[in-house]
Amino acid sequence: MPTPLSGHHVAVLMGGLSAEREVSLVSGRECAAALERLGAKVSRVDAGRDLAQVLSALKPDVCFNALHGEWGEDGCVQGVLETLGLPYSHSGVLASALAMDKAKAKAVLAAAGVTVPGGGLFNRFEAAAEHVMAPPYVVKPNAEGSSVGVFLVFEGANRPPQEIVAPSWTFGEQVMIEPYVAGRELAVGVMDGKAMTVTDIIPRTGFYDYEAKYADGGSTHIVPAKIPTQAFERALRMCELAHAALGCRGVTRADLRYDDVNDVLVLLEVNTQPGMTPTSLVPEQAAQQGVDFDALVLWITEDAYARGGAGGKPA
């Protein structure tokens, strides 16, 4: 019996160069296994600086981009794929670069009517010398994901986080500092421009950091979120608007904070290549909507084909 991707060669781009490499390897592994179950010939590609040469030799029909963070999610790899004329999953060059740059993305989202937190960019040495705003606030790299390099400065803190000026800091000279919004951590997946549902994330540690996102049992996900209907619907519409305003395509995930005491909902960022690990939010939301993991991977792959490239959309 023929399978949906029989005869199609898919290169799964994984690993890469960013601080999110290990997460990407897991996403890539899961997606590659699903593609093989769907009948595709799969090439697993650890995306380094020689990506163009590797793909030129492989000649895949389509690329499934399972990279996260710098190089793979910020428009650089997308530019390589555009140059090679290969169809690829998720957002294009501009949307990828824009969504990864938190400051520029916030400006675009605010102009489109999306509620975003205040704050702005600060030199990391100035931000480490003294509080640039009254605590509580959040310090984060301007162009990283997965809560890498994120610090919460609590009310009453004597000084800002000194980690941002440590020799090990590799996330740029400017940091994004935003007022901390108390309340719930929410996430909304958007697929083909339509929001799926809202997840309420309850981290085991009290802060949704890297471990809470990816460690087994690091957080509890309530799907769908048990929040007031009006806030639920507002979150869905806000994330659809953000997806469109940034020019995204395929599947994205937006992260939000909801202050349920004061009914304040703000959108923190849009992830153009959300995680596809066993603990990831988008596969969980898709499953809640009746779309299992393999069907989700198939849709993402078909969506990449549909935007052009040799062979067209799989039969």
Tell me the pLDDT tens digit for each residue of 168-184. 998 899 999 999 999 99
Which DSSP string do the residues of 228-255 spell out, in sequence order? Answer: -HHHHHHHHHHHHHHHHHTT--SEEEEE
Higher pLDDT, 150 or 216: 150
Name residues whose C-beta falls within 8 Å of residue 15's C-beta, 6 or more positions apart in sequence.
21, 24, 25, 28, 46, 47, 67
| pLDDT bracket for residue 86 (50, 70, 90) | very high
Which tokens in the block code for residue 202? 């309850």
The residues annotated with a catalytic role in the active site are 20, 146, 214, 253, 255, 269, 271, 275
Query: Is 222 a residue whose pLDDT tops 60?
Result: yes
Rounded to an integer, what distance in angstroms lies between the CA atom of residue 272 and that of residue 191?
11
- Mean pLDDT calculated for residue range 87-111: 97
Which tokens in the block code for residue 152? 């919460």
Look at strands 9-14 and 41-46 and give their pairing: parallel
pLDDT over 90 percentage in the chain? 84
Q: What is the pLDDT of residue 204?
A: 78
- Mean pLDDT calculated for residue range 296-308: 91
Which tokens in the block code for residue 57? 């030799």
pLDDT over 70 percentage in the chain? 91
Rounded to an integer, what distance in angstroms lies between the CA atom of residue 76 and that of residue 203?
32
Rounded to an integer, what distance in angstroms lies between the CA atom of residue 35 and that of residue 15?
17
Rounded to an integer, what distance in angstroms lies between the CA atom of residue 234 and that of residue 228?
10
Rounded to an integer, what distance in angstroms lies between the CA atom of residue 208 and that of residue 299?
29
Name residues whose C-beta falls within 8 Å of residue 71's C-beta, 6 or more positions apart in sequence.
16, 17, 18, 47, 77
Angle subtended by helix axes 229-245 and 102-111, to nearest 10? 110
Reading phi first (left if > 0) and then psi (alpha if -120 to 50, else beta), residue 278 is in: alpha
Taking every pair of C-alpha atoms in the chain, what is the biggest distance, in angstroms?
A: 66
Q: Is the peptide bond before 224 cis (omega within 30 degrees of 0)?
A: yes
